[in-house]
Amino acid sequence: MLACENSLAGRVPDIHTLLPNAGLHIVGEHFQRVEHCLLAIPGTRIEQIKRVHTHPVAMGQISTLLATYNFAPVVEFDTAGAAELVALWKSHEEAAVASELAAELNGLTILKRNVEDAKHNTTRFYIASQTAERPERDTPDVMTTVIFSVKNSPGALYKVLGGFATNGVNMTRLESYMTGGGFAATRFLMDVEGHPENTQLGKALAELEFFSEDATILGVYKQSPFRRQMTGSCAEALPSAPTDALAG
């Protein structure tokens, strides 16, 4: 499972290179409610803490905590690793933001629960596999993820995306990123609703391939049921689980 976006912190980096370069295929998606705890060594009082350690994406989910207590943010490689480091340092000035399980495994005390900025804090994950799997053409509620580059010319992106509008295809995600050390953001990752073998999306993808320099379908997969429930406070009903190994 690869974290790709969060309702508070936005995009999760690195997946753009991991997916195509590792030969992985997206075979599903999962939305996970993420709950964070403030952890410290036993005997620590919250007023003693000076620095908070956690994954960069998790750091973007706890701005209220940092501002309220004037903690200095320190980015670590993941949330579980941050908890392990705090346990090793044995300093009352250091704390970690991680899961309840991380506290249990590292012998840390939970000083505050649910320190994320909002109750809807939810991370979307791509479920990836070395083997490509696709639902049947007539399967309802299907997503398609595409990665592509556009030609470096005026209106290139407009031409690429125009086919999705004219064919009535709903685009749920589009983001650009740099490749090859350059500053021209000409590489894009896109999620759209539909199956490539269906007429509307098939036509849109044909236009994309014509106007882009290259286009690769990273996955065709069933939508998570959560997509059809994303109204009101539905995210609060999601099951919570330790997500340290998934970069929070």
Report whether 168 contacts 161 (CB < 8 A).
Answer: no
The whole-angstrom separation of Cα 16 and Cα 177 is 8
The whole-angstrom separation of Cα 103 and Cα 242 is 11
Closest CA to 116 of 245, 235, 1: 235
Query: Which residues partner with 189 through β-bridges?
Result: 147, 175
Q: Is 234 left (phi over 0), alpha (psi -120 to 50) or beta?
A: alpha
Q: Which pLDDT score, from 0 to 100, does residue 178 have?
A: 73
**One-letter amino acid of 112:** K
Residue 118, CB-side half-sphere exposure with 13 Å CA sphere: 12
Count other Cβ atoms within 10 Å, centred on residue 121. Answer: 26
Question: What's domain 2-31+123-228's architecture?
Answer: 2-Layer Sandwich (3.30)
C-alpha of 44 from chain center: 32
Helix 199-211 vs helix 156-166: crossing angle, to nearest 10: 170
Q: Which pLDDT score, from 0 to 100, does residue 237 have?
A: 43
Q: What is the model's pTM?
A: 0.79
pLDDT along the chain (248 residues), means of 10: 84 74 90 94 98 94 96 95 98 97 97 93 92 94 94 83 95 83 75 96 94 91 88 45 42
Closest CA to 174 of 3, 1, 4: 4
Q: Which pLDDT score, from 0 to 100, does residue 148 have?
A: 92
Token representation of residue 43 = 């005997």
The whole-angstrom separation of Cα 216 and Cα 196 is 12
Pairing assessment for the beta strands 51-54 and 37-40 based on DSSP bridges: unpaired
Q: Which tens digits make up the pLDDT trace of 32-89?
A: 988 999 999 999 999 999 999 999 989 999 999 999 999 999 999 999 999 999 999 9
- The fold adopted by the segment(s) 36-115 is D-Maltodextrin-Binding Protein; domain 2 (3.40.190)
The whole-angstrom separation of Cα 9 and Cα 232 is 20
- Residue matched to tokens 């960069």: 56
Report whether 71 contacts 50 (CB < 8 A).
Answer: yes
Q: Where are the domains of the chain?
A: 2-31+123-228, 36-115
The CA dihedral of 109, 4, 32, 229, to the nearest 10 degrees, is 150
Token representation of residue 201 = 């999306």
Q: Which pLDDT score, from 0 to 100, does residue 183 have?
A: 64
The whole-angstrom separation of Cα 142 and Cα 137 is 9
